[in-house]
Amino acid sequence: MELREKPTIAVTSGEPAGIGPELVAMLAIRHAQQPFAARLVVLGDRVLLAERAARIGASPRYAEYDPASFAPAGGVVEVWHQPVAAPVAPGRLDPTNAHGVMTMLQHAVDGCATGAFAALVTAPVQKSVMMDAGIPFPGHTEFLAARTHTPRVVMLLVGGPRDAPLRVALATTHLPLAAVPAAVTRDVVRETLVILATELRTKFGIARPRIAVCGLNPHAGEGGHVGREEIDAIAPAIADVAREDIADLAGPLPADTVFVPGHARQYDAILAMYHDQGLPALKAASFGLGINVTLGLPFPRTSVDHGTALDLARDPALARTADAGSLIAATDLAIDLVQRILDAGRETAGA
C-alpha cells in the first residue's frame, strides 16, 4: 500500500490526568516498531504528551500534524495540539480541563464528518469531572450520536480471540438501573437489532449474522411470571426484525446462560438489554484487550474497554505497567473497519 493511500485515523488522548497520555506513548512506540497500515493523528496537548512519555521512560516519535501533507515516514505519530487550560497533575482530576477535553472530542468528530479522518479511536475520559464542570456528558456514545445528529447508535463490545471474538451489543447504555425497564421498548430493541445486523454485515463482513437476544428479567421472564418486558417488548421486536430477513435471531434468552462459552460461540453477537448485563461477561473474557465500537455512526469509532486508571497515572512506577493492549486492538480494528468499507466501495464502483 502506498503511503498516501493509508487511511488517517484520529486518536484522542482522553482525560489528561488519566492514563491516556501514557497509553498514547505506548501506541506510538508500537507504531514505530511495527507501523499500523494507517496515518495516526493523536489529539492532545503536545507538551503534556511529551512529558508523560518521558515520565515512564518512553521516547515516542511525535511530529506536528499538518493536514496538507502526506503522512511522515517511519512510523511517526502526528500530534494535533489541543492545549490544556490548567497544569495537569497525573491522577488528580481538575474540572478546569474538562472543556478542553470536550473541544478535543468535537474536533475529532468534526474531522471524521468532513472526511479529514477515516475513523476515530478514543482513549478513556472521566465522566464525573465533565459533569462537575457543568457539561452534560453521559458518555462517548451519547456524545457521538448528538454531535453527528444520528438518531440511534449502538454500543458494541468486542473481545476474545481474533478468530472467534465475543461481540456484545447493548440495547440501552449509560442509564441508572431503575430507568432500564422503561427504556426497553419494542422500538428500541427493533432499531438496535436492525443497526446491529446491518453493521455486522457491512463493517464486519458477516453475510448472515446470527444474533442472540437476552431477556431483561431472570430466566427471560419465566413466561411473564418474573416480568413482562420479554412478552410486551423484546419478543415482538425480534419478530419484527425476523420479518425483514436480515439476520438469524434467537431469543429472548436467559442472560445467565447465553454467555456460557459453548452457547455464546453459536452466535456472531449477543444483544444485552443493559450495560451491566452484557459487559461483565465480555470483560471477564477479555479485559485489557476488549474494544468498544459505536455502530450506526457515519464513520467507524472504536475505543478502549477500560477507564482512566487514575491510580496508575498517579504513580510513575505503576504508570509504566499500564497495558496499552486495548488501545492497540482498538486501533487495529478501526483500520480493519475502514479497509472493509473502502473495499466494499471499490467493489460497488466496479460492479
Alpha-carbon distances of 174 from 81, 252, 284, rounded to whole Å: 30, 22, 19
Q: What are 37-64's pLDDT values in tens digits?
A: 999 999 999 999 999 999 999 999 999 9
Cα 2 from Cα 145, distance rounded (Å): 33
Q: What angle do CA 183, 186, 191 make, to 5 degrees?
A: 90
pLDDT band for position 348 (50/70/90)? low
Alpha-carbon distances of 128 from 49, 58, 315, rounded to whole Å: 23, 29, 21
Residue corresponding to grid cell 461477561: 281
Q: Which residues contact 130 (CB under 8 A, 6 or more apart)?
A: 98, 101, 102, 137
Do the bridges between strand 210-214 and strand 62-64 make them parallel or antiparallel, or are there none, so unpaired? unpaired
Q: What are 262-306's pLDDT values in tens digits?
A: 899 999 999 999 999 999 988 888 766 789 999 999 999 999 989
Q: What are 117-127's pLDDT values in tens digits?
A: 999 999 999 99
pLDDT band for position 1 (50/70/90)? very low
Residues in the chain: 351
Half-sphere exposure of 187 (CA within 13 A, CB side): 4
- Using the predicted structure, report yes or no on whether residue 344 has a pLDDT greater than 90: no
- Of all helices (H) and strands (E), which one includes residue 240? helix 235-244
- Using the predicted structure, report yes or no on whether residue 93 has a pLDDT greater than 50: yes
**Which pLDDT value is given to residue 217?**
97
- Average pLDDT of the segment spanning 144-160: 93
What CATH superfamily is the domain 1-150+297-351? Isopropylmalate Dehydrogenase (3.40.718.10)
Alpha-carbon distances of 233 from 110, 139, 221, 346, rounded to whole Å: 36, 26, 12, 40
Cβ atoms 102, 135 nearer than 8 A: yes
Q: Which three cell numbers stand for residue 80?
A: 494535533
- Using the predicted structure, report yes or no on whether residue 4 has a pLDDT greater than 60: no
- Using the predicted structure, report yes or no on whether residue 207 has a pLDDT greater than 60: yes
- Using the predicted structure, report yes or no on whether residue 3 has a pLDDT greater than 60: no
CATH code of the region 153-294: 3.40.718.10
Q: What are 159-174's pLDDT values in tens digits?
A: 877 777 899 999 998 8
- Using the predicted structure, report yes or no on whether residue 151 has a pLDDT greater than 80: yes
Do the bridges between strand 39-44 and strand 8-12 make them parallel or antiparallel, or are there none, so unpaired? parallel
The domain locations on the chain are 1-150+297-351, 153-294
Cβ atoms 18, 94 nearer than 8 A: no
Do the bridges between strand 154-159 and strand 291-295 make them parallel or antiparallel, or are there none, so unpaired? antiparallel
Q: What angle do CA 10, 80, 143 make, to 5 degrees?
A: 50
**What's the one-letter identity of residue 187?**
D
**Which pLDDT value is given to residue 176?**
94
**Which pLDDT value is given to residue 5?**
65
Of the candidates 123, 126, 170, the residue with the CA atom closest to the CA atom of residue 330: 123
Please state the φ and ψ torsions of residue 78, each to the nearest 5 degrees.
Answer: -90, 150
- Of all helices (H) and strands (E), which one includes residue 285? helix 275-286
Do the bridges between strand 62-64 and strand 269-272 make them parallel or antiparallel, or are there none, so unpaired? unpaired
Residue corresponding to grid cell 438469524: 248
DSSP 233: I
Q: Do domains 1-150+297-351 and 153-294 have the same CATH topology?
A: yes
Mean confidence (pLDDT) of the chain: 93
Do the bridges between strand 39-44 and strand 166-170 make them parallel or antiparallel, or are there none, so unpaired? unpaired
Helical pair 186-202 and 235-244, crossing angle rounded to 10 deg: 40
Share of the chain above pLDDT 90, in %: 83
- Average pLDDT of the segment spanning 202-224: 95
pTM assigned to the model: 0.91
